[in-house]
Chain A
Amino acid sequence: MSRLVRTLVVVAALLMSAAYALPLWRVSLFAPQYPEGLGMLIRVNTVDGVKEHDLANINGLNHYIGMKRIEPDAIPELRFMPVLLGGLIVTGLGVAALGKRVPFAIWGTALGALLLAGLADYWRWGYDYGHDLDPNAIIRIPGMSYQPPLLGTKQLLNFRATSWPASGGWALVLAAALVAFALYLAFFRRARADRTSARVASVPFMVAA
C-alpha cells in the first residue's frame, strides 16, 4: 500500500471517530402549531432532542397515533454501535500500520457492509415505529403509516418530517468515500498512485492538521 492510501485510511478512521461527538442523523418535524419545529438527533449511542424536551414532546404527540415511545435505553443497536465503530476505527488504524492490501480490502469491504447494514437497520427501525401501531390508538386512519423518510421530506398528517444525515453522519459518508477512493487507488491505479503519492499525500495531512 502506498503512503497515500495508508494516509487516506488514517484520515478516514479519524473522521469516523468524529461520530462519537457529533449526531449521525437529524429528523426535523414542522407543523402549523410548531413553527419553531421539533427535532430528533440520532447519535451513535443515544437518541435525543434538538432542544432539551423535544424527544419527550415527540413521544407525547406520537401517543395520539399509537406509535411506540422512543426510549433510547430500549434500543439495543445504540449499545453495540459505539463498540462496532470503535472496532472499525482501531482495525482501520491497524490496517494502515500494517500496509498490506488484503487486510485493507477485507476491512474496506467490512466497513462498507456495516455502513449499509446500519442504514438498512435504521430504515427497518423507522418502518417498525411507523407501522407497529397500537390498535387502540386515538387516531386511526386506515392504510396510514408514519414511517419517517430515510432521506428527504414527507408529510405525515399535520407534520412535515425531514430526515438528513447530520454532521457526524456526513463525517461517516466522507470517511466511506475516502476509503472507496483508497481502495480504487490501491487496486486499480496502483502504479500511478505510487508515482504521485509523495505530492498528493501532503494534502490530507494538511487537512487533518
Chain B
Amino acid sequence: MSRFLRSRLLAGVAAVVAILGLGYACSTRQGAPALTAGDAAQRVYVAPGDYDEFYAFLSGGFNGQVGVYALPSGRRLKTIPVFSQYPENGYGYSEETKAMLNTSYGFIPWDDVHHTTLSQTAGEDDGRWLFVNGNNTPRIARIDLTRMETEEIIEIPNAAGNHGSPFVTENSEFVISSTRFSVPVPNADVPIADFKQRFKGQISFIRADQPGKMAIAFQMIVPGFSYDLARAGKGPSHGWMFLSTYNTEQANSLLEVNASQRDKDFVAAVSWKAIDACVKAGKGRPASVEYLHNVVEEFTRIARTERLTTVTQLEPKDCPGAMYFLPTPKSPHGADVDPTGEYITAGGKLASVIPVHSFSKMQKAIADKAFEGELDGIPVLTYESTLAGEVQNPGLGPLHTEFDGKGYAYTSMFISSEIVKWKLGTWEVVDRVPTYYSIGHLMIPGGGTRKPNAKYVIALNKITKDRYLPTGPELTQSAQLYDNTGNKMRLLLDFPTEGEPHYGNAIEAAKIKDKQLKFFKLAENRNPMVARAERETGVTRDGKKVHVRMTAIRSHFAPDNIEGVQLGDTVLFHVTNLEQDWDVPHGFAIMGNTNGELLVMPGETRTLRWIPSRVGVFPMYCTDFCSALHQEMQGYVRVSPAGSNVALTGTLSRGPSAAPKAGGEKE
C-alpha cells in the first residue's frame, strides 16, 4: 500500500516537473549510497538516559514558536513560545508575560517565525542567545539560552513582511530586518497602483549585543523591491550585509508571473560600517514612527513595554558607498556567505545555475567603477565584474546554501527535492541526495558561521506526504538528518517537527548544557506581589480588585480557602512557587476562568487574572503533577453576590496537629 502510494506520488512529482518544462530533474537525481537500517539506527540511537550531541532550535513557522530538538536522535525537548500565546505554560496569559505580545497595533497573540540566528563571538556561535523574526507584524525576539525563554521583543517600524531577518553580524553587533512586502513609507492611504512611486523597502540594523537593550541603530529606506534573505559578511567581508531581492519588476499584483519577468534581480551589498559612519557624521535624520520594545525585567520577571517614537533614517544617496546592487539570476532566495567571507552564493529559485559572487572582486569592481547603471542612487555593478563562478546544472529551484568549512557548499533544491554538494572554486557538483519532500532551508551546525561542524546536514522540508502515518488533511511537518562524515551524504533519520521549520540552528550541547538555569532564586525574586514564605501570604481588596498573594509548595497552596470575593470583582492570583529545587514547577487553574492557566517555575511569581461570572464556590488546583499529594493540592474560592457582607479572608488549616489559624486580611 505505502509503496504503491509512494511510487504514485513520485510519478506525480515527476509529472509536475515535466509540465513545468524543467524536465531534467529526475535524471540528475542519483540514489544515496545504501546505508543499512542497522547502521543508520546505530548512528541516531541515543541510549535511554544518555544525552544527544547537539541542541537544534527549529523555527515553528506559523505556530509562532521555536522548537528545541536534540540531535542526532531528533527528539523534541521543548517548545519556546515567542510570538504566540502558549496555554501549556501560560505565556501570553499570565499578567507578567502579556506585555511580550504588545505591538503598536495592540496585543497580538500570534506571528509567523521564519528564521533563527544564534548570537556570535568572533564569527562563532557562542550559545548566549537565539534571535528569531516575526514575519507578519515585523518584530525580532531574543531568547535567553540559559533559561530558554523569550526575554525581549522589538517591533520594526516601516517594515512589512520581516522576512530577511534576523541574521546576525559576527560579534552580534547587529541583527537585521528587511522588508519583503514594500509599503508606503510612512504608511499612508495611497492607491496600490502607485506602487512604483510610493512603495519602499527598509533595511534596519538593530543593536543586539546588550541584553534588554535591543535598539534600532539606523534604518535605510531602499527601493520598493522584495528583500528576501540576508547573511552578514565575515572575516574580510565583516562590516557588510548581503541581501537577496526579487520583484525588482516592482509588480503589485499576480507576482508569481509579474515578478518573474526579469532575467536578473539583485543581491544587495550593504556596508553597515559605512552607514554607521554616515550616521555618526550626522547624515541620518530622525523619522517619526511608533514601535514597541518589550523586555522581561531581570528580578521581577515582569515584561514591560516601552513605546518608542523615532528612528534614525537615511537613504542610499545620503551615504554613497554604503550600498551596491549585484545583478543575480533569477528571483534569488538565499544569499549565503561562506566561512572565509569571500564567497556569496545566491539561490536563484528560478535560475538554472547557482551564481557565486566574490567579495574581493566586488571591492575591485567598486574601485574600478564597473557599473552598468544606477538605481535610486545605488550603483549597479556588472554581473561579470563580481562573479566568481556558476555551478552548472545543480538541480531545480536552488534556495539556501550552508558550508562545511572544508571547501564545500551544500544547496537545497526545492523543485528537484534534493541537497546538492558542490566545491567552492571549481564549482563542480560532487554529491546529491534526495529529500522527502521539497526541502526549504537546510542546516549544518554552525553552517552559516566561520566554524561549521559539518558532521550532519539537516533538511527542513515543506511536504511530508507518505513519510508518516497520515493524520487527516494536515500532515506533520518534518526534518531529515543526513550523515556527512564521509564523501557522500547518507540519510539517517526522518523526524517530525512542530509547525513549519523554516530555518534552524544546531549547536554543540557542551556550549549550552551546563549553563542551564535550574530554578529562580526565591531570595532574588523582586516581583512586587511575591510571597517568599507562607506568613507573607494574604488577601487584600483594592476597590473592585482582589489581590491574592499565594504560595505553592509540595503539596498545598497558602491560602487555600478564600471567601469574600464578590460578583463584579477582578481577582488577581499572585502565585509564588516556594520550591528551590530542579524540575518542580507548580500549575494553577480555576474553574470557569476565561483566561488560561499558570505554570510557575520554582522561585518565580506569576499572576492569573480571573473575573468570576457567577455566584458559587469555585475549585482551584495545581495542574502540574508535582508530587505524591498533587491530587490534594487544591482549594476553593467562594464568590458572593455584589454587596455581600462576607468578610474577605484567605485561610489555610494547619492540620489536626496544630490549632487552625486564620489568615485573613494582612495588609
Give chain A's interface residues, CB within 8 Å of chain B.
36, 52-53, 56-57, 60, 64, 134-136, 138-139
The answer to whether B629 touches A64, judged by C-beta atoms less than 8 angstroms apart, is: yes
B-chain residues with CB within 8 Å of residue A60 when the two chains form the complex: 553-554, 579, 581
B-chain residues with CB within 8 Å of residue A64 when the two chains form the complex: 628-629
The answer to whether A56 touches B580, judged by C-beta atoms less than 8 angstroms apart, is: yes
Partner of A134, one of B580, B628, B629, B657: B657
B-chain residues with CB within 8 Å of residue A139 when the two chains form the complex: 628
B-chain residues with CB within 8 Å of residue A134 when the two chains form the complex: 657
- Asked if B106 is an interface residue, CB under 8 A from chain A, the answer is no
The answer to whether A138 touches B629, judged by C-beta atoms less than 8 angstroms apart, is: yes
Known: A60-B581, A139-B628. 6 other contacts (CB 8 A): A52-B580, A53-B580, A53-B581, A60-B554, A60-B579, A64-B629
**Those of B115-173 within 8 Å (CB) of chain A:** none
Given A60-B553, A64-B628, A64-B629, A136–B655 Cβ distance below 8 Å? yes
Nearest CB in chain A: distance from B524 CB, A = 12
Nearest CB in chain B: distance from A53 CB, A = 4
**Those of B564-581 within 8 Å (CB) of chain A:** 579-581
Q: List 17 A-B contacts (CB under 8 A).
A: A36-B582, A52-B580, A53-B581, A56-B580, A57-B580, A57-B581, A60-B554, A60-B579, A60-B581, A64-B628, A64-B629, A134-B657, A135-B657, A136-B655, A136-B657, A138-B629, A139-B628
Q: Which residue of A lies closest to B581 (CB)?
A: A57
The answer to whether A136 touches B656, judged by C-beta atoms less than 8 angstroms apart, is: yes
B-chain residues with CB within 8 Å of residue A135 when the two chains form the complex: 657
Q: Which residue of A lies closest to B580 (CB)?
A: A53
A-chain residues with CB within 8 Å of residue B581 when the two chains form the complex: 53, 57, 60
B-chain residues with CB within 8 Å of residue A136 when the two chains form the complex: 655-657
Interface flags, B21-33, vs A, CB<8A=1, else 0:
0000000000000
B-chain residues with CB within 8 Å of residue A52 when the two chains form the complex: 580
- The answer for the CA separation of A56 and B628 in the assembled complex, in Å, is 18
Q: Which residue of B lies closest to A63 (CB)?
A: B554
Size band of the interface chain B makes with A: 10 to 19
Nearest CB in chain B: distance from A86 CB, A = 32
Closest 6 CB pairs of A and B: A53-B580, A136-B656, A136-B657, A57-B581, A134-B657, A136-B655
A-chain residues with CB within 8 Å of residue B582 when the two chains form the complex: 36
B-chain residues with CB within 8 Å of residue A53 when the two chains form the complex: 580-581
Nearest CB in chain B: distance from A200 CB, A = 49
Nearest CB in chain A: distance from B558 CB, A = 13
Nearest CB in chain B: distance from A79 CB, A = 25
Nearest CB in chain A: distance from B538 CB, A = 22
A-chain residues with CB within 8 Å of residue B655 when the two chains form the complex: 136
Nearest CB in chain B: distance from A35 CB, A = 9
- The answer for the CA separation of A57 and B628 in the assembled complex, in Å, is 15
Nearest CB in chain B: distance from A4 CB, A = 51
- The answer for the CA separation of A64 and B656 in the assembled complex, in Å, is 14
Q: Which residue of B lies closest to A54 (CB)?
A: B581
- The answer for the CA separation of A162 and B393 in the assembled complex, in Å, is 69
**Those of B528-578 within 8 Å (CB) of chain A:** 553-554
- The answer for the CA separation of A125 and B628 in the assembled complex, in Å, is 28
Central interface residue in B554, B581, B628, B657, by most chain A CB within 10 Å: B581
- The answer for the CA separation of A63 and B502 in the assembled complex, in Å, is 50
- The answer for the CA separation of A134 and B654 in the assembled complex, in Å, is 13
- The answer for the CA separation of A135 and B658 in the assembled complex, in Å, is 12
Nearest CB in chain B: distance from A48 CB, A = 14
- The answer for the CA separation of A135 and B582 in the assembled complex, in Å, is 30
Nearest CB in chain A: distance from B185 CB, A = 54
Q: Which residue of A lies closest to B656 (CB)?
A: A136
- The answer for the CA separation of A64 and B630 in the assembled complex, in Å, is 12
Central interface residue in B579, B580, B629, B656, by most chain A CB within 10 Å: B580
A-chain residues with CB within 8 Å of residue B657 when the two chains form the complex: 134-136
Q: Which residue of B lies closest to A66 (CB)?
A: B657
Nearest CB in chain A: distance from B632 CB, A = 9
- The answer for the CA separation of A36 and B582 in the assembled complex, in Å, is 10
A-chain residues with CB within 8 Å of residue B580 when the two chains form the complex: 52-53, 56-57
A-chain residues with CB within 8 Å of residue B553 when the two chains form the complex: 60
Nearest CB in chain A: distance from B156 CB, A = 42
**Those of B614-659 within 8 Å (CB) of chain A:** 628-629, 655-657
- The answer for the CA separation of A138 and B555 in the assembled complex, in Å, is 11
Nearest CB in chain B: distance from A62 CB, A = 12
A-chain residues with CB within 8 Å of residue B656 when the two chains form the complex: 136
- The answer for the CA separation of A142 and B554 in the assembled complex, in Å, is 24
Nearest CB in chain B: distance from A63 CB, A = 9
Q: Which residue of A lies closest to B602 (CB)?
A: A53
Interface flags, B446-468, vs A, CB<8A=1, else 0:
00000000000000000000000
Nearest CB in chain B: distance from A46 CB, A = 18
- The answer for the CA separation of A36 and B580 in the assembled complex, in Å, is 15
Q: Which residue of B lies closest to A36 (CB)?
A: B582
- The answer for the CA separation of A64 and B629 in the assembled complex, in Å, is 9
- The answer for the CA separation of A176 and B180 in the assembled complex, in Å, is 81
- The answer for the CA separation of A53 and B657 in the assembled complex, in Å, is 26
Q: Which residue of A lies closest to B582 (CB)?
A: A36
Nearest CB in chain B: distance from A74 CB, A = 17
- The answer for the CA separation of A134 and B658 in the assembled complex, in Å, is 11
- The answer for the CA separation of A136 and B658 in the assembled complex, in Å, is 10
Nearest CB in chain A: distance from B472 CB, A = 38
Q: Which residue of B lies closest to A38 (CB)?
A: B581
- The answer for the CA separation of A169 and B554 in the assembled complex, in Å, is 34
Nearest CB in chain A: distance from B625 CB, A = 12
B-chain residues with CB within 8 Å of residue A56 when the two chains form the complex: 580
- The answer for the CA separation of A56 and B581 in the assembled complex, in Å, is 9
- The answer for the CA separation of A134 and B553 in the assembled complex, in Å, is 19
Q: Which residue of A lies closest to B655 (CB)?
A: A136
Central interface residue in A56, A60, A64, A135, by most chain B CB within 10 Å: A60
Nearest CB in chain A: distance from B534 CB, A = 13
Nearest CB in chain B: distance from A103 CB, A = 50
- The answer for the CA separation of A135 and B553 in the assembled complex, in Å, is 22
B-chain residues with CB within 8 Å of residue A57 when the two chains form the complex: 580-581
Nearest CB in chain B: distance from A61 CB, A = 8
- The answer for the CA separation of A23 and B579 in the assembled complex, in Å, is 26
Q: Which residue of A lies closest to B519 (CB)?
A: A53
- The answer for the CA separation of A60 and B553 in the assembled complex, in Å, is 9
A-chain residues with CB within 8 Å of residue B629 when the two chains form the complex: 64, 138
Nearest CB in chain B: distance from A59 CB, A = 11
- The answer for the CA separation of A49 and B574 in the assembled complex, in Å, is 29
- The answer for the CA separation of A111 and B244 in the assembled complex, in Å, is 84
